[in-house]
Chains A and B, each alone.
Chain A
Amino acid sequence: MKNNTADKIVWAKKDLLGLEYLSREEIEVILYTAQSFKEVTTRQIKKVPALRGKTVVNLFYEPSTRTRASFELAAKRLSADVINIEVEASSVKKGETLIDTGRNIEALKIDIIVVRHNCSGAPNILARSVKSSVVNAGDGWHEHPTQALLDMFTLKSKLGHIEGLRVSIIGDIAHSRVARSNIWGMTKLVAEVTVCAPPMLIPEGIEKMGVKVTSDLDEALKNTDAINVLRMQFERDTQKAFPTKLEYFKQYGITDQRLKKCKKDIVVMHPGPINRGIEMSSDVADGANSVILEQVTNGIAVRMAVLYLVAHAKREIVA
């Protein structure tokens, strides 16, 4: 119960923009706080008054049902008021600028903006333009910090610790914000991270983030404690990387057969939504090693922790 690091550190950040910008201790504070919120979600009345009177705005420039719902539920369980604003990405260029939108939303006297954007760095730009807290709910290929935090939270609850674990991230690393946030977070908590993708989907210089790189799935699975399987999105850049979807499944799909050669209690994660039969087979997705649904449940606790921490970030005391 007692966590020494978490006890000493006081959260001082207004925003959560990415795990690159956090220290190991800060990540541990979030995970520790999330543990307490996890308990809240098991109560009869799953609601606490910690953000009573505060308003959270979900500003989404990209369609997303699950992340938005998870943030919305997290905010509501903290007794915050929530509004959702969806901006069509196609109208962005013609319409109001991000900074103007941010300032207009802030004029509504709100406290936290949760932003999802198809451009990398949009939350960074927003955060320096408004006084409200900004929480990144996924930006371009850059970061998706709450997803990585919930992945780590799930892994920690399954295996007890992160330090020293071998974790392989499999899929389109080049275009994945989930991959980047996972790499920052897991390496800061001293896990041994391997990324595995077809050569064209391994981004330039990724090894400098402190990960092992391979295009051989068997190598990535060997002796690994957990795998995080990314969703394959068949867009312009990814299509070139392999001949067919079926071929991708043959080379990189996670199947029961492949899992049998792995550690018995290997943890299988996926940020969802799953393309069954492309990045993983149904028997794996629904199998005993899969924690995919637990990830969804944990997502709420982690997002509650993040909203709580940024809302009450230690502010400078004016004498």
Chain B
Amino acid sequence: MGLKEKSKILNKEGIEKALERIAHEIIEKLKSIEDVAIVGIKNRGAYLGERLADKVKSITSTSPPVGALDITLYRDDLTQISEQPIVHATEIDFDIDGKIIILVDDVLFTGRTIRCALDALIDFGRPAQIQLAVLVDRGHRELPIRADYVGKNVPTSLKEVVEARLEETDGRDEVVICEKVE
């Protein structure tokens, strides 16, 4: 089975604009960003988190603390998957107690990754609120989870795969829809 690229839904500029808009929405919604901290979900969410923090800084001239979360140990499919996932380090070097955490990921799909991330975050302390920002929401939730900030809503079928590619990990910025081919 392989993947065939069907269409590009976001290019470099589109990603930049989406992040900028999310930054504005956060500031608008929360009024003050004093208690805000950004935590990206590894791998790509972590880089998006860093970029989002830069956007917030360029608007408000204050930079919120940024962390990266590895959710491998919280996955609910550890015993089912055939490949063993590699455990990467979680890097949250600030106290999350009382903070408003903006959790960042690239693609929101079943919601299971976010469930893991919520469990993981809560093991670090007791944040005042956790909000979710994603670059793309493709639907098909399996858990009662929704995003507070969405870069782009994309209706997809289950045969399709949404791939976010980033400069830091893939050498270019784009989000594409691929189709599984036999």
Q: A and B touching (C-beta < 8 Å)?
A: yes
Is the pair A48, B124 in contact by a Cβ cutoff of 8 Å? Answer: no
Q: How far is the CB of B50 from chain A (nearest CB, A)?
A: 13
Instruction: Tell me which residues across on chain A come within 8 A of B87, comparing CB atoms.
Output: 33, 36-37, 305, 308
Q: Is the CB of A49 within 8 A of B84?
A: no
Residue from the list B86, B122, B124, B125 in contact with A7, Cβ < 8 A: B86
Contacts of B85 in A (CB 8 A): 312
Q: Which of B72, B87, B119 neighbours the largest number of chain A CB atoms within 10 Å of its CB?
A: B87
A48→B73 contact, CB < 8 A:
yes
Q: Is A309 an interface residue (CB 8 A)?
A: yes
Residues of B within 8 Å of A317, CB to CB, are 82
Are A36 and B88 in touch, CB under 8 angstroms? Answer: yes
A94 nearest CB across to chain B (Å):
39
CB neighbours (8 Å) of B91 from chain A are: 1, 39
Report A-chain residues with C-beta under 8 Å of the C-beta of B88. 1, 36
Judge whether B86 and A48 touch: CB under 8 Å: no
Contact, CB under 8 Å: A44 / B125: yes
Q: Find the B residue at minimum CB distance from A7.
A: B86
| Pairwise interchain contact B86-A6, C-beta atoms closer than 8 A | yes
Interface residue tally for chain A (C-beta within 8 Å): 29
Chain B interface secondary structure, helix, strand, loop or mixed? loop
Q: How far, in whole Å, are A6 and B79 apart by their CA atoms in the complex?
A: 20
For A35, give its contact among B73, B89, B120 (CB under 8 Å). B89
Are the C-beta atoms of A49 and B82 separated by less than 8 Å?
no
Residue in A closest to B125 when the chains form the complex, CB atoms: A44
Whether B78 and A312, one on each chain, are in contact in the complex, defined by CB atoms closer than 8 angstroms, is: yes
With A11-B84, A312-B84 in contact, do A39 and B89 touch (Cβ < 8 Å)? yes
Q: Tell whether B70 is near chain A: CB-to-CB under 8 Å.
A: yes
Whether, in the assembled complex, B153 has its beta carbon less than 8 Å from a beta carbon of chain A, the answer is no
Which residue from chain B places its CB closest to the CB of A44 in the assembled complex? B125
B residues in contact with A33, CB < 8 Å: 86-87
Interface residues of A (CB under 8 A from B): 1, 6-7, 10-11, 29, 32-33, 35-37, 39-40, 43-45, 47-50, 78, 305, 308-309, 312-315, 317
Q: List 27 A-B contacts (CB under 8 A).
A: A1-B89, A10-B83, A35-B89, A36-B88, A37-B87, A39-B91, A40-B73, A40-B90, A43-B123, A43-B124, A44-B124, A45-B123, A47-B123, A48-B74, A49-B73, A49-B74, A49-B119, A50-B72, A50-B74, A50-B78, A305-B87, A308-B87, A312-B78, A312-B79, A312-B84, A314-B82, A315-B82
* Chain B contact residues, CB within 8 Å of chain A: 70, 72-74, 78-79, 82-91, 119-120, 122-125
